[in-house]
Structure 1
Amino acid sequence: MRRKAEFYSFLRNVANYYGTDVDALIRGESFALEVPKAAELGENIQQRSEFLKSINLDYVTDLSGYKLRGATEKSITGRKKDGRYLARLDHTQGKYQLAETDSGIIVPWAMFDNFARFGDRLAALYAEFVQTQIALDQLKVGWYGKSVAENTSAEDMSDVNKGWMQLAREEKPQNVMKDGATVGKIKIFGEGADFENLDHLAAELKSGIDLRHRDRNDLVFLVGADLVGKEAELINKAHGLTPTEKAVLGSQNLLGSFGGMRGIVPPNFPARGAVVTTLSNLSIYVQDSSVRRSYRNDEDRKGVIDSYYRNEGYVVEDAGLFTAIEFGNVKLPGEDD
């Protein structure tokens, strides 16, 4: 590291901001964040992704408990001749459960030195780099996470935590489609397919959510890049059309709609995945007293080790408002039957 003076100045600013001991920080010791600062950090991470900032990020007291929003089994408005009309929240869908989550990244000396060249922008550039990585990881775990391993090793992060897809599999398995006409396979596009196009698939998934939700105007169709790209390819081949903005792979918010719902390609979403839900139905919970941070200059690794520790978990607030396909079972035209 060539710019050690800037590094120590950076740490002094961090210590001042979080109200922690600067000498302990320089020694690389971790420190606990007060609840308001922990929430502010979480919100800053959330802002690094358009999709992430559209869902819920909530701070809770306990490692486990009831979902904050829950679900009602029916409408909540009516009357009773001899009393008040009431509907109860349904907590039978299960509680939330948080797990130890540790995000650690090495910021190479060369990168830190480059950030330091920008003077007052050092902290902003550093935060953007680290927080963007954390945000992308949170989303990947949300879609691929299946278990909570004591020591994680899966490249797809499936052993970090149980994400939204896994929670749907467990809480309402009938809402996660595993089979088409052939057991274990869902064929999309082409002759003899289970779904001839994405509109057909979206409409079918929409019909699977609980009846009380089907007329909502905030339903979205989350869809993977492979499916969008294949549909564009087939349309172009059949009609000689140029790709529309609806089928541009890099688009986060598709301008068109599928099954009458807005289509979105979220970051780190399974390439062959498809989900119908609302953005407000997806949550990440963090235990407010669990958040810790540390920064350490490591000579052996030639970089600054940045760590963000917390107890974190994923929640599908209403399992009846979430339908999906098992993305690993999807087959496209020309693939082995």
Structure 2
Amino acid sequence: MNKTTRKNFQLMLATQASIYDVKAVTVPFTVTPEKEQRLIGGMQQTDAFLKKINMVTVDNMVGDSVIIGVDVLTAGRTNTKLNDRKPNLVHNGKVNGYSCQQTNFDTALEYAQLDAWGHKPQFKQIVSEKTMRANSLSLISMGFNGTSIAADTDIDKNPLLQDCAVGWLQKLKNRNSDNYLDSKDIVITKELNIDVLVNQTKNSLGEVEKHNPDLIVILGSELFEHNKDRLCAENATKPSEKSKTELKQVIETFGGLPAYGVPFFPARGILVTTFENLSIYIHSGSMRRRIEDQPKCDRVVTYSSKNIDYVVENLDLMAYIDSSKVKFEGES
């Protein structure tokens, strides 16, 4: 670490100690609830997807889901001469349990990286954003790929953090397997196209949930590319249409639903739900941090952990076609 970087690094440590109201951030400390909210808010700002879903703190490490959407119909009549009126709950009464488990988000920045930014006035901001962005992407990857919680995780065997958490898709498979569509291979053709598959997925939702006006579809990157390739082929002789396709001004809905691409979502997966139905619970008071200079390794390490869990608020409001079951016509 060169002299300028070292000076800015020391200033960054002092600033962070002031922000977190601790003597030093080079020794382990617990983040206060107020600062937790700031960190969560900052993390959400690093990714468009995280902005749309719920990231909430909960007082208990284990409990029942806390966000309840309106997913029932409430109209009716009662003959009050015979019976009392019975108000309807504004949710379906099915509550999902959660259990927040400690998850580490430890990051390292080499001296060479820090030196590249060390002369810049926004040094602290750059370091913070790089670290927070990496943590945000990890949260997303676990949410869509996590299948288990290992005592000792293995990044080489599980590069998408499959063994760090039980994510949303696995929660659906475990708790509402009827809506996890993986019983047979699906071949995409002109007739059985992505629009048709999205509509079929939507129809797997509960009878009331399938009419939710906030429904969206999250598609894997290969499905977006397949649709783009199809449009390019169909419009190859129409310059204006080809230009729109290249500018990604293509169909923004599939099966009548707004379509979104999300980092680390399975490449051929199709998920129909609402953003509000996806949550990350963070156990309040569980955030712990420490920054350590490691000159023997020519790097600076930020040790960070928090207790988290992934929650599908209403399992009847979520349906998924398993990415591994989707094929393109002509594939063996």
TM-score by length of 1: 0.88
Residue of structure 2 equivalent to 1:208: 204
CA distance in structure 2 between the aligned counterparts of 1:50 and 1:202, rounded to whole angstroms:
22
* Shift of residue 130, structure 1, vs aligned partner: 0.6
**CA deviation profile, 1:212-264 (whole Å, cap 9, x unmatched):** 1222221111001101111222333345365576787xx7x976211111010
Residue of structure 1 equivalent to 2:215: 219
* Shift of residue 71, structure 1, vs aligned partner: 6.1
CA distance in structure 1 between the aligned counterparts of 2:246 and 2:210, rounded to whole angstroms:
25
Residue of structure 1 equivalent to 2:23: 21
SS in structure 1 of the partner of residue 195 of structure 2: helix
Larger displacement relative to structure 2 (80-89 or 287-296): 80-89
Residue of structure 1 equivalent to 2:186: 186
CA distance in structure 1 between the aligned counterparts of 2:324 and 2:13, rounded to whole angstroms:
45
CA distance in structure 2 between the aligned counterparts of 1:148 and 1:198, rounded to whole angstroms:
33
Larger displacement relative to structure 2 (51-60 or 108-117): 108-117
Contact 1:254 1:262 survives alignment (8 Å):
no
Contact 2:64 2:95 survives alignment (8 Å):
no
Q: Which amino acid aligns with 2:201?
A: L
SS in structure 2 of the partner of residue 263 of structure 1: strand
Larger displacement relative to structure 2 (152-161 or 63-72): 63-72
Contact 2:232 2:245 survives alignment (8 Å):
no
Residue of structure 1 equivalent to 2:86: 85
Selected match of 1:8 from 10, 13, 17: 10
1:291-310 superposed matches below 5 A: 291-310=287-306
CA distance in structure 2 between the aligned counterparts of 1:58 and 1:77, rounded to whole angstroms:
31
Contact 1:232 1:243 survives alignment (8 Å):
no
What is the RMSD of the two structures over their aligned residues, measured on CA atoms? 2.2
SS in structure 1 of the partner of residue 39 of structure 2: helix
| Structure 2: gaps of 5 or more residues | none
**CA deviation profile, 1:158-208 (whole Å, cap 9, x unmatched):** 1110111001111211001113xxx3x222235xxxx62111111111111
* Shift of residue 334, structure 1, vs aligned partner: 2.5
Contact 1:71 1:91 survives alignment (8 Å):
no
CA distance in structure 2 between the aligned counterparts of 1:45 and 1:305, rounded to whole angstroms:
19
CA distance in structure 1 between the aligned counterparts of 2:141 and 2:242, rounded to whole angstroms:
27
Residues 205 and 165 of structure 1, relative CA distance in 2, 3 Å threshold: same
Residue of structure 1 equivalent to 2:112: 110
CA distance in structure 1 between the aligned counterparts of 2:243 and 2:253, rounded to whole angstroms:
12
Q: Which amino acid aligns with 1:299?
A: P
Selected match of 1:158 from 157, 162, 165: 162
CA distance in structure 1 between the aligned counterparts of 2:228 and 2:12, rounded to whole angstroms:
48
Residue of structure 2 equivalent to 1:30: 28
1:61-140 superposed matches below 5 A: 61-70=59-68, 74-80=72-78, 81=80, 82-88=83-89, 89-90=91-92, 92-119=94-121, 121-140=122-141
CA distance in structure 2 between the aligned counterparts of 1:55 and 1:96, rounded to whole angstroms:
17
SS in structure 2 of the partner of residue 7 of structure 1: helix
Q: Does residue 1:167 correspond to 2:171, yes or no?
A: yes
**CA deviation profile, 1:76-131 (whole Å, cap 9, x unmatched):** 34444243432345554530121111001111112222333112x12211111111
Residue of structure 1 equivalent to 2:57: 59
Q: Which amino acid aligns with 1:123?
A: K
Contact 1:220 1:278 survives alignment (8 Å):
yes
CA distance in structure 1 between the aligned counterparts of 2:245 and 2:218, rounded to whole angstroms:
13
CA distance in structure 2 between the aligned counterparts of 1:227 and 1:280, rounded to whole angstroms:
24
Residue of structure 2 equivalent to 1:144: 145
Contact 1:78 1:85 survives alignment (8 Å):
no
Residue of structure 2 equivalent to 1:330: 326
**Identical pairs, percent:** 24
SS in structure 2 of the partner of residue 123 of structure 1: helix
Q: How many residues align?
A: 320
CA distance in structure 1 between the aligned counterparts of 2:101 and 2:162, rounded to whole angstroms:
14
CA distance in structure 2 between the aligned counterparts of 1:78 and 1:307, rounded to whole angstroms:
55
| Structure 1: gaps of 5 or more residues | none
SS in structure 2 of the partner of residue 136 of structure 1: helix
CA distance in structure 1 between the aligned counterparts of 2:255 and 2:243, rounded to whole angstroms:
17
* Shift of residue 148, structure 1, vs aligned partner: 0.7
CA distance in structure 1 between the aligned counterparts of 2:76 and 2:61, rounded to whole angstroms:
36
SS in structure 1 of the partner of residue 105 of structure 2: strand
